[in-house]
Amino acid sequence: MAAPMKTCRRIFIHFKTLRNCRYYCESTPTNVRVRFAPSPTGMLHLGGLRTALYNYLFARANGGRFILRIEDTDQTRYVSGAEQKLEEALDWAGISPHEGPSQGGNFGPYLQSKRLDLYHGEIKKLIQNGTAYHCFCTPKRLELLRKDAARRRETPKYDNKCRHLTSTEVEEKLARKHEFVVRLKMEWSEEPYEDMIKGPIVHNVAEIEGDPVLLKSDKYPTYHFANVVDDHHMKISHVFRGDEWQASTPKHIMIYKAFNWSPPQFAHLPLIVNKDGSKLSKRQSDINVEYYKDSGYFPEAVINYVTKVGGGFGTDELYGFNLPQLAEMFQVARIKRQYGRLDPLWLEEANKIQLKKKIKCPDERVKLIKFIGNIVQKEFGAINEEYIGRVLDWSIAENRIVKLQDLVGSRFIFLWSTPTDSHIDAMQTIDPTVKAVLINCANKLKNVDDFTKDCLADVLKCHINEEKMKMMNYMKIMRMALSGLKEGPPVAEMMAIIGKDSTLSRLQNTIDKLPGAIL
């Protein structure tokens, strides 16, 4: 008899799911309104950026509105300044909201701590219609319930004791100023719903918890209650959020039913994990958007990075697209259901592509030249802008850098300054005739008019044969004379980029510092 019962149960759930799906579709507003609702507890991380981005793209693709709402009801976790940092990160990424704390709008305030009167009014409605009740259980009693459940190896949950208080008992306790919370009368039923990404979802939240708290003793709403109330009053049509909230959705649907409100459509995005499958940790510096901003990655590259991780575009070649292009390509049905694995190499590739695009764009090129020029001037003195432009062209032609800031790092310091004396002794240990070799090389280079990489490579090759030196040793001393570095780009490439005058000047400077008579 057990098998037929299970079959009947599945059929019931199936029809209930269809009913709910039809209910969602029929009740969905024609105007698309989506929201990103972070808590101000720290920096915006990649998972949050991906959630904000997908909301933004869905709104843009459907001519809708993208709303930022700050959910600060948990005052114990509030981090001062986090709200401003969140907004700055969104602005940097190019996904500024249409409505929010800074932008304003017709559905504000957009800070939950400023909406307390609304929550209190809605709580009264639920108490009056009998779907919520005052709970006077003390923290001590709740702790005893948890310990008892642990002793019996059961899932700890509230036993719904105060649900059965009479109205007289409630009034008496309120009159005596007893501390209370307000709880929802949880229905013992499965609430199937159609997830836009995962399909039909069935979960009976009453199996694992008692009646949930809606209003805390400090008169602040819980996340679940404020979330539902705000989504309704802000006319949110679709909710794109992280996979971790999937288990809470049936609870949210019950709150909607308690108010007799129509719920939005839900889409739960899969988690983002490290390349090895491990979970992202707040201790990782490279999960915060600010890290990528400060490290010199372009916002477009970071955007392409998280879209490649999460899918939704019908292609994995997500490098070099801008936001309008991504919005046009975006399809909810193509969002990946499995975890998205971060691969830093994807980000590097995306940033290289953006760098090339910006260097080739006249307006962006001017900005990049000024950016590098300001850094170089502070460290090494003023540099000709035409030369900086040549360096930029060289950097992308030879695929030398990932980020613009790489050009002012130790590997490329030779581009902006002459080497110090620290390499002189090392050069002599490589070959005792180093001074004569440098003199002969300089004399050959003086007669070279075509100071390009290919031509210089031929000149150096001939000189190596004349000196009867090992190529490795020859290139080492030349590289050190030009840059002070033991490793770096090919010597001919170095000479071509710094130019003939600088090449001869650096060779002569090294020659003058080497001991021994000039032959």
User: Quick check: is 282 catalytic?
Assistant: yes
What HEC string does 259-324 produce?
A: HCCCCCEEEEECCEECCCCCECCCCCHHHEHHHHHHHCCCHHHHHHHHHHHHECCCCCCCCCCCHH
Angle between the 471-483 and 500-513 helix axes, to the nearest 10 degrees?
A: 100
C-beta neighbour count of 8 within 10 angstroms: 10
How many residues does this entry show for the chain? 519
Encoded tokens for 213: 């708290």
Please give the structure tokens belonging to residue 261: 């409100």
Per the listing, tokens 């460290």 go with 379
Which helix (H) or strand (E) element contains residue 134? Answer: strand 132-135
Say which DSSP state 62 is in: T
CA-to-CA separations, 206 to 158, 190, 252, 257, 398, in angstroms, rounded:
10, 8, 12, 15, 62
Nearest 5°: the CA angle 268, 68, 275 is 45
What burial class does residue 428 get, using C-beta atoms within 10 Å of its C-beta: 0-12 exposed, 13-18 middle, 19+ buried?
middle
CA separation (Å) from 382 to 145, 413, 418, 420? 72, 14, 14, 19
| Matching residue, tokens 């090129």 | 365
Give the distance, in angstroms, between the CA of residue 57 and the centroid of all CA atoms in the same chain. 15
Q: For residues 63 and 34, give the distance between their C-alpha atoms in angstroms, rounded to a whole number.
A: 11
Considering the candidates 124, 125, 282, 486, report the single residue annotated as catalytic.
Answer: 282
Contact 412, 394 (CB under 8 A): no
Q: How far apart, in whole angstroms, are the C-alpha atoms of residue 17 and residue 25? A: 12
Contacts of 341 (CB under 8 A, 6+ apart): 272, 273, 274, 275, 277, 309
Q: Are 402 and 351 in contact, with CB atoms under 8 Å apart?
A: yes
> Nearest Cα to 103, choosing from 135, 140, 66?
66
Q: What residues act catalytically?
A: 282
